[in-house]
Structure 1
Amino acid sequence: MQRLGGAVKDHYPVVVLGAGPAGLTAAYELFKQGMQSIVLEKADKVGGISRTEVYKGYRFDIGGHRFFTKVDAVQKFWKEILGDEFIKVPRLSRIYYQGKFYDYPLSLFNTLRNLGIAQSFLILVSYLEAKLKARLGLRREPESFEEWVIDCFGERLYRTFFKTYTEKVWGIPCSKIRADWAAQRIQGMSLKRAVINAVFGSQNAKSLIKEFDYPILGPGMMWERCQEILDSNGSPVHLHTEVVRVERDGKRITRVIAKQGDRMLELTGDQFISSLPVTALLRKMHPAPPAPVLEAAKGLKYRDFLIVSLIIDQDNLFPDNWIYIHSPEFKVGRIQNFKNWSPAMVPDEGKTCLGMEYFCSEGDATWEMTEPELIKLASREAVDLGLVDKLSLIQDGTVIRQHKAYPVYDGEYRKHLKVIQEYLETFENLQTVGRNGMHRYNNQDHSMLTAMLAVKNILGEDHNLWDVNTERSYHEEFTRDEMKPQESPTQAAQLEPAAS
């Protein structure tokens, strides 16, 4: 690495932007193929939204990350990095609605007891009405989340369990959210299947997973170990390093300029992989992309969120990994119990740590609250929900803010993303990967899969990352082939999924 004219200049075969799961997976797969790379990350730690934050010895998972996949290549990656440093965690979560807790997945008797016979009967009638309208052709193809859920479950169940929580998460009416998101996140579910599961158990129908792997010290442990491997094998991961300009010449990226403290890095490369938010990548390009592309980038939206982590002087509050708060009178959207992910996340076995998750947007009233105000709000809500006996048991807390956590699937996103995709596909040596790199609400394993295919492309294969089958990769009910990329018969993307 040379220092010329006040800037550090160097060349790498591959320059990777972003050290989340997608960026680090790409760098690690390149390392295994004997190819050197450099990874640039603005934050102070790796992992992106899959990082582990630490406060006074307490560890926090940003959003909750179950290590479960049907993609054998991803499973192999995880085991290769961490080996036996996983624990098996039973999956348990519930829904809080109107003062009562509902089992998730549904338990028939629990649901009937909470709703009552009359309300349950009305939900069933509403469901049958929706199915009859569909059979008679009286409904059009659903375009919004609201229409999609009503078609599947009926209007009464939609208003009971889907509407309030979804609008809390996204901050916009369900009628303004694309049906794409619903089809992606709730694929294959139906009231009929839910009832079969509730009555007979999972042996008679596909069901949600019952347990999952989890790194002993949280998901960030995976990516910190990956960073160590890369750093010690000639593929450095630079933290506190912000990409300020991505230079292009025609159809090729030529150079990346990054700021690292008081020095500048000027990096050239043969290939470039970006997991930066695609909107940020386009804004950093020089010369600037065409005006229609920049306008499309302005049209894409994100949802932020923050976690208020509370340290509580009780050893056992509730058994769930997390609880979904559907009741609109509470601002909190979801509550994690970190001790139930891994006991090692909490250094004092006599205490519990809760992560109170608030979905918001930068600049809104919740985001602008001070840390003491947020801790006070979260503490009061934890007590009012009946999860903590009294305020005096809450001994400490901290706030973690996460920008651009979720790409928003509003009514305009598909049109804007098409413009951006078509522009990015013109580049010969640039690939975008991961959730933010492709503006897709995917899970960790799918982000990793896009990175693996990007590396295969660098090695001479031909995969269109935008064709990877995202529609079913989110669900824990898919068959053997549904996590594979969409391929033509001549392609040979052999990322075989694990056996069911």
Structure 2
Amino acid sequence: MSTNIIDIETLIIGAGPGGLATAYQLAKSGCKSLTVEQSDQPGGLMRSFVHGEFTLDIGRKELPGRLSDVDQLWSEVLGADLCNYDRRLGVLYQGKIYETERSHGGLTYGMSPLEFLGGLTQMIGGRLSSRNTPVTYQDQVYRRIGERFAKIFYQGYDQKIGGVRWDQRQAEVESTTKTATTSWRHILRRAFAAKSTPIPWRHPAYGSGQVCTSLHQQAADRGAEFWFDTAVSKIGTEGDRVTEVRVMRGGDECQLRPKTVVSSLPIEILARLLDLPAPTAKPSVAERRSTICVYLFFDEPPRFPHSWLKVTCPRLKAGRVTNYSIFSRKMVPSGKTCLCVEFCCLGQDPLLDESDERLKELALAEVAGANLVDKARFSDHLVRRLPGVDGATDLNDWWNPTRREMLDRSRKFANLYCICQPGTDYASWCGLEAANAIVQGSRSSFDRDMDPAALFGLPG
């Protein structure tokens, strides 16, 4: 087997949203780059796929406009195909859909006046009786907002995606970032404050993957190079620099010698390829999660107006239900419905060994039992298993001490930029900032501004 040796200006590992943003921005600045991607197409978990008449995302994908640079990037590459939609989030609990915004649910968020008053009474009682320090997280949250509000809006969903029961989880140190949306003041403020102006949300007409295909095409048109079906096998270093990246492409090994490397690989994989010492911090639950997406197709219009539902009901195994019809009518034909029912799995969850047919029957029974669909109008299904993928990442879990330690160790290499971040917008922003830092020669500013502590307000 021959080894080709190629000198590279900037090597980008991974053609997900972050890597593509880097390639696009470098190409706009007149800089050359090569992007290597293990799969046969761009997008990573943000790619879309076609199933018959439907164009679908992988699970729930939302493109919030909270980062102006990223919103401008998406508008630039998509134009009129970046469409507004009515982003409406609901909560499914015991067969009923509750609202998360007053603009849709009124003063009581879809609760009956008696139900809301009972929850409010519990919440006030919990605050007045909280003399001793809570031992469990369940006790802590129940005291903060009351058992009823906690169960309806938070507990079941949090336990499914987190993999830990609240009554088996230690109480946490109170912090504004962790408790901001589960505080009694927050509940009351949202209930009685004046209605706020809804934030506009947008989605690509043909699915989230349209962002990636557009970035790829426009970067390539400006001279960026892409190698698909190309796997990284080794990253070589000398001192504080990455000196080579070995890849397998079409049965041949290539030795790439880059001046700069931008990696969108998960930090665990990057650390292994760099042969970094094992972290001293204990791995968290988040590193043992997987997701199963069950797509259900129906010959009827959608029966609920929400873009997605958090499933807090403990009787149901599903954690989330996405309604693609709301995102774009070009994704789902008129008069049809496609729901993606997501199951969050921890470790060796028995669901991972179930057949596609069994998973379909489970998902169909749960959404039909909640009156989200008419089971008689069911027409087709598709199952996608995502091993090692956390479908609803919590920032504190994503940048846990283990990953922070690996990130810090990778920073010793002066020509390596790590842009792997949770959330499509933050990954894209890191990609843009990496490109700007490369053009300007300001690696230190990238490390400072793109550090998790700066990005998300996490402890440094």
Indicate yes or no: 2:368 matched with 1:387: no
Q: Distance in 1 between matches of 2:431 and 2:139?
A: 34
SS in 2 for 1:120: helix
Distance 1:464 1:86, change over 3 A: closer
Identity percentage of aligned residues: 24
1:213-268 Cα shifts (integer Å, max 9, x gaps): 11100110011111112223322222222212111122211111122342333211
Among residues 267, 271, 276, which one is paired with 1:289 in the alignment?
276
Distance 1:242 1:21, change over 3 A: same
Normalising by structure 1, we get a TM-score of 0.80
Q: Distance in 1 between matches of 2:402 and 2:171?
A: 13
Q: Distance in 1 between matches of 2:68 and 2:397?
A: 35
SS in 2 for 1:283: helix
Among residues 40, 43, 49, which one is paired with 2:39 in the alignment?
43
Q: Shift of the alpha carbon at 1:63?
A: 3.3
Distance 1:335 1:443, change over 3 A: same
Is contact 1:181–1:409 with CA below 8 Å preserved after alignment? no
Distance 1:69 1:210, change over 3 A: closer
Among residues 168, 171, 187, which one is paired with 2:160 in the alignment?
168
Partner of 1:448: 428
Is contact 2:119–2:149 with CA below 8 Å preserved after alignment? no
SS in 2 for 1:84: helix
Is contact 2:85–2:203 with CA below 8 Å preserved after alignment? yes
Indicate yes or no: 2:248 matched with 1:254: no
Indicate yes or no: 2:10 matched with 1:11: no
SS in 2 for 1:388: coil
1:186-201 map, 5 Å:
187=180, 190-201=183-194
Among residues 459, 463, 471, which one is paired with 2:445 in the alignment?
463
Q: Shift of the alpha carbon at 1:306?
A: 1.9
Q: CA RMSD in A?
A: 3.3
SS in 1 for 2:91: strand
Q: Distance in 1 between matches of 2:249 and 2:176?
A: 42
Is contact 1:187–1:472 with CA below 8 Å preserved after alignment? no
Distance 1:11 1:126, change over 3 A: farther
Partner of 2:321: 335
Q: Which runs of 5+ in 2 are unaligned?
A: none
1:11-41 Cα shifts (integer Å, max 9, x gaps): 2211111111111111111112211111122
Among residues 54, 58, 63, which one is paired with 1:58 in the alignment?
54
Q: Distance in 2 between matches of 1:147 and 1:23?
A: 43
1:62-211 map, 5 Å:
62-105=58-101, 107=105, 108-113=107-112, 116=115, 119-129=118-128, 139=133, 149=141, 152-154=144-146, 157-174=149-166, 176=169, 184=177, 187=180, 190-203=183-196, 209-211=198-200
1:315-365 Cα shifts (integer Å, max 9, x gaps): 23211111111111111111111111101111x322211111111146421
Among residues 398, 402, 416, which one is paired with 2:402 in the alignment?
416
SS in 1 for 2:313: coil
Among residues 402, 412, 428, which one is paired with 2:386 in the alignment?
402
Q: Which amino acid aligns with 2:160?
A: K
Distance 1:147 1:43, change over 3 A: farther
Distance 1:306 1:167, change over 3 A: same
Q: Which runs of 5+ in 1 are unaligned?
A: 436-441, 475-481, 487-500
Partner of 1:24: 20
Q: Distance in 2 between matches of 1:177 and 1:64?
A: 30
Q: Distance in 2 between matches of 1:178 and 1:22?
A: 35
Partner of 1:244: 233
Is contact 2:156–2:311 with CA below 8 Å preserved after alignment? no
Is contact 1:85–1:216 with CA below 8 Å preserved after alignment? yes
Is contact 1:51–1:220 with CA below 8 Å preserved after alignment? yes
Q: Distance in 2 between matches of 1:22 and 1:425?
A: 18
Q: Distance in 2 between matches of 1:187 and 1:450?
A: 26
Q: Distance in 2 between matches of 1:410 and 1:463?
A: 23
Q: Tell which deviates more after alignment, 402-411 or 377-386.
A: 402-411
Among residues 299, 304, 309, which one is paired with 2:290 in the alignment?
304
Is contact 1:49–1:405 with CA below 8 Å preserved after alignment? no
1:91-110 Cα shifts (integer Å, max 9, x gaps): 11211112222111254335
Normalising by structure 2, we get a TM-score of 0.86
Among residues 306, 326, 329, which one is paired with 2:312 in the alignment?
326
Q: Which amino acid aligns with 1:289?
A: L
Q: Distance in 2 between matches of 1:181 and 1:23?
A: 36
Distance 1:315 1:468, change over 3 A: same
Q: Which amino acid aligns with 1:245?
A: K
Q: Shift of the alpha carbon at 1:389?
A: 2.0
Q: Distance in 2 between matches of 1:115 and 1:314?
A: 34
Is contact 2:21–2:432 with CA below 8 Å preserved after alignment? yes
Q: Shift of the alpha carbon at 1:128?
A: 3.1
Indicate yes or no: 2:272 matched with 1:264: no
Is contact 1:271–1:430 with CA below 8 Å preserved after alignment? yes
Among residues 336, 340, 358, which one is paired with 1:373 in the alignment?
358
Q: Shift of the alpha carbon at 1:417?
A: 3.1
Q: Shift of the alpha carbon at 1:180?
A: 9.5
SS in 2 for 1:247: strand
Q: Distance in 1 between matches of 2:175 and 2:384?
A: 28
Distance 1:211 1:456, change over 3 A: closer
